[in-house]
Amino acid sequence: MSTAATPYGAEPVGTLSASGSFTGKVRHYKIVTTEATAIFTGDFVKLISGGTVSKQAVTTSLGTITVGIFMGCAYTDPGTGQMTFSAQWPAANAATDAVAYVADDPFLVFKMQADGALLATKVGLNASLISTAGSTTIGRSKNAIDASTAATTNSLPVRILEVIDPATAFPEALVTYLPGVHAHLTILGV
């Protein structure tokens, strides 16, 4: 609920399953040593060959197959030899034991800020997302809902479940994945 554009990526808040609550469960996925793209808490990640994850650039179509939301990582810092827990994966890190913590529930409900006006009448519609570089200061994503794309179009990646305080200039909304967008709900392997 903000009058300023301060996107923070995807923040898990619940699930569509019977319990309805997000318990903080994450699955550990390896990050390949050669991963040259920074990944921030709240970014979407995709599963790539070898069972590792990489940042998923948010697009406007169902071609974006995500495995979940990045919630931080751990790795042995190659410079200091110390185990490091971080809200972000630094680009071009040479750690050989990196593990990403990923909220990978395909029925996850997550909160995101819209990039502009998003009226309550948009509930039930689908929307595209905007991907921008995250904040290296706080380790957070800056992905947002593209408010201007809310439509019945079945090729968009998320469904709007609720608009929180639609009277603000940049409201937050609860969204979930559309069928076919999550890697665990597709029949095509990686």
**45-101 pLDDT, tens per residue?**
998 878 899 998 877 765 668 899 999 999 999 999 999 999 999 988 889 999 999
- With a cut of 70, which residues of the chain have pLDDT below it? 1-2, 61-64, 190
CA distance 23 to 43: 19
What DSSP string describes 93-110? ---SS-EEEEE--TTEEE
Contact 65, 48 (CB under 8 A): no
CA distance 129 to 136: 21
Which tokens in the block code for residue 113?
């800020």
Per the DSSP assignment, residues forming a β-bridge with 86 are 73
Note the pLDDT of residue 3: 73
Note the pLDDT of residue 27: 95
Note the pLDDT of residue 190: 67
